[in-house]
Amino acid sequence: MMKPMHVLVTGGAGFIGSHLCEALLRRGERVTAVDNFDPFYDRRIKQRNLAAAQDFDGFRLVEGDIRDEALLAQPFGEPVDAVVHLAALAGVRNSLEQPLAFNEVNVGGTLTVLETARACGRPRFILASTSSVYGNSPHTPYREDASLWHCISPYGASKIACERYGYIYHAVHGMEVVALRFFTAYGERQRPDMAIHRFARAILDEKPVTIYGDGRTSRDYTYIGDIVRGVLAALDLADPGFDVINLGNSEATELGELVRLIERALGRSARIEYLPEQPGDPPHTCADIGHAREVLGFEPRTSLSEGIARFTAWLKAEDAARAG
């Protein structure tokens, strides 16, 4: 029997992180999650995210900031086999308002995690990147070898910098680094500021659904279960060296159609309010997942309509639990 891996997950109490922690624990791995419970949204949401993980003996939570070198060294007090680095400030529009903070947390924090990992045995390093690195490139679906000069947000630029640092630590220090470019992850526990969650919440509360632009922009929405399977596959790769891999559903859906799918799942109609387009938002995203298929054996399993049905069922159950 193989010895369980010890996996360090930064941002482990967040949307993607908490699902990943559970998946790792269910397959018998040991997990240390690091999270600073950033007040960007209610701390209680993240605490609920971790409820299932905390039932496992192999789970440990370290609360603190990834920029704190002394705190970050704590999980490495025992050997770490792999790091999944998810912690970051997220959001294109937020990054336009706080570019310095995004650079400090995303780039500086990532560099701190990489340097700590290098000094503590050079474990495999899985880096969460984003489709925002492609910006407003007109060439869709996006391939990993596409030019990144079209990036138009500090958030996307910070992730490009993180990928570059990942390559340096591979080339100079011999670390195995895989950067996974996530395409609009959604599903149960999705952050409340993200479109699907925000739209569903507005419809349930009988408030306007605000759409920036004419509703014809499109996104490649990727269900959380598919994202997690992609991360696990990256952890299990044999000798990946350095690689950059898209994780997406490889299907673009217009915003207007997204609202209709949410309406159908909730059995309610939306009242839509159109607002001017926002700077920094690319008009379209769509992943070419040919490389993910080849390297990870990755294939998305959950359609957008099915994923939204699962999300809205979860959201209504959360409302019922709080009301009870």
Enumerate the active-site residues.
155
The answer to whether residues 94 and 132 touch, using CB atoms and an 8 Å cutoff, is: no
Q: Which secondary-structure segment (H or E) carries 26?
A: helix 15-26
Closest CA relative to residue 36, chosen from 55, 11, 60: 11
Q: Is 238 helix (H, G, I), strand (E, B) or coil?
A: coil
Instruction: Tokens 């950067």: give the residue.
Output: 179
In degrees, rounded to 5, the angle at the alpha carbon of residue 78 between the alpha carbons of residues 76 and 83 is 45
Q: Say whether the peptide bond before residue 141 is cis (omega within 30 degrees of 0).
A: yes
Tokens matching residue 248? 């997406």
Amino acid at 20: L
* Helix, strand, coil content of the chain in percent (nearest 5): 45, 20, 35
Instruction: Tokens 């294939």: give the residue.
Output: 299
In angstroms, rounded to a whole number, what is the distance separating the alpha carbons of residues 183 and 298?
A: 14
- Which of 2-5's residues contact partners 24+ apart within 8 Å by CB, and which partners? 4/28, 4/29, 4/30, 4/58, 5/29, 5/30, 5/81, 5/82, 5/235
Tokens matching residue 179? 């950067």
Provide the pairing of β-strand 252-254 with 218-220.
antiparallel
Q: Is 252 helix (H, G, I), strand (E, B) or coil?
A: strand
Length of the chain (residues):
324
- Residue 278: how many other CB atoms lie within 10 Å: 11
The answer to whether residues 121 and 79 touch, using CB atoms and an 8 Å cutoff, is: yes
